[in-house]
Amino acid sequence: MRQIAQIDIPMLTIFRPIAIFAPKLLSLFVLMMVFSAASATDGAQTPIDFTPAEKAYIVQTGSIKMCVDPDWAPFEIINKQGQHEGIAADLLQMVAKRVGLRIELYPAQDWDASLAASKSKGCQIMSFLNQTPAREAWLSFTDPIFFDPNVIITREEHGFVADAKGLQNETVALPRGTMVEERVRSDFPNLKLVLTSSEPEAMILVSERKADLTIRSLIVAANAIKKEGLFNLKISGQIPEYTNHLRIGVLKDEQLLRSILNKGVQTITPQEREAISNKHVPINVQQGIDYRLVWQILGGASLALMLAILWNRKLSALNKELERLAVTDRLTGLFNRVKLDEAFEADIKRSIRFGQAFSIIMLDIDHFKEVNDVHGHQAGDQVLVEVARLLKDNIRATDIAGRWGGEEFLVICAQTDAEGVLKLAQNLHLKFQNHCFPVVQRKTASFGVTTYVEGDKSNDMVARADAALYTAKNNGRNQVAIK
């Protein structure tokens, strides 16, 4: 190879065999593989418009030498007969046929040998790889020929991974020389790398508890788990920005060849990509009537239906969890800016339509920097979490509290006028003043409040509340001010 919710791999591996009986279940898997669009069909192609220089190159060159990954099923392998097989092989042959070139296979023993051969110009193209800064040193790239998401694979007991940056000191097994290895080194210094010589080896290390996780192509992962019987593994998360945009890599001094191949790539349609992908994950259908098989099929269909129902329930629960995480501050559990902005706009629209008053309270913890400086950031985090708990326990059910940023918090008070919001803010002020916080014991806060005025936008209200907050700070802190 050159990422969503937690999904059990064993379920994924049975999608295709039960596709005839559970099309909705299959569609959940198919939706995860989005292929790029092109305009032509194999049967009725628009002729490719080559330049005179490109035409001359095709005539004079005739054949080109290609390096591949010999062990990357189902994308590509070199089989025992020394032939190139897989999704990449079929796509590359289609491109070559359309542009009028022949492909000669460079017989590399492994991916490292292919990379070395390409760098030394032993081959002109590399078949199927991601574009990375390191590879741009000697290669130029065509448009993507195939798309495939990368997912986080762990053992079944591992928890859901919402953000890989939150993992600490876990080991990740990755094939060396790949795009994922290159990016993980820079993006996730919190992870310890264990390098392998192949895709299956990385999966086996996780299965055998010699690594905590791997980051793999969804297609490759499903294929490897089914082939190797690694059913103690599952998909625990996704890294969307790591989606594979697989391209043909061409030596930098072969710009005419890159242009020719790119024009061939652009003729491939989504239907052709899907047909080639399906060819390497076949559905076997037995012809004729076998009544024993009919009962087996009915049993399988019932099982498929039950799995579909369970899967839909699980997916619904996971989607709700993802929605919650998207609007929640990870430290305090309060709403984040995204949700506060959304609630702001809703209350403004409600006030415009129904003439209902609403107000906001902005509060800032006094001398919070001293907590971090004297007691450390962990103590500061404990204080922030305790502030969040105080707010939850002392606002009304109709109020919305969130973390505005740093040590600033915001409360949106629906159907509340100036008198009501001032009363609520003063109550919170007293609660803070008399509360015993962890580590620091006593900590006060300053409060700025304001009420909606006709014509206000959210920025106007925030600016007034912020100004009131600074008035409270300038007047000695630990008090409430209103604008």
Which of 260, 249, 64 is CA-nearest to residue 138? 249
208 in catalytic set: no
What six digits make up the tokens of 135? Answer: 């590879």
182, 199, 272, 407: which one is catalytic?
Answer: 407
Residue positions counted in the chain: 483
CA 240 to mean position of chain CA atoms? 2
Report the chain's terminal Cα–Cα distance, integer Å: 59
Rounded to whole angstroms, the Cα distance separating 83 from 96 reads 16
Are the C-beta atoms of residues 131 and 247 closer than 8 Å to each other? yes
Q: Is 121 helix (H, G, I), strand (E, B) or coil?
A: coil
DSSP assignment string, 21-80? T-HHHHHHHHTT-PPPP-S--SSSPPPP---HHHHHHHHHH-EEEEE--TEETTTEEE-T
Q: β-strands 359-365, 408-413: how paired?
A: antiparallel
Is residue 423 within 8 A of residue 434, CB to CB? The reply is: no
How is residue 160 annotated by DSSP? Answer: P
41: helix, coil or strand?
A: coil
Helix (H) or strand (E) holding 275: helix 270-279
List phi, psi (to 5°) of 99.
-95, -5
Which residue type does 265 have?
V
CA 190 – CA 167 distance, rounded (Å): 7
For the record, the structure tokens of 174 come out as: 């990755």
Ordered alpha helix ranges (H), 327-402? 337-354, 368-375, 377-394
By C-alpha distance, which of 349, 432, 442 is closest to 387? 432
- Show the tokens assigned to 168: 């600490």
> Catalytic positions, please?
407
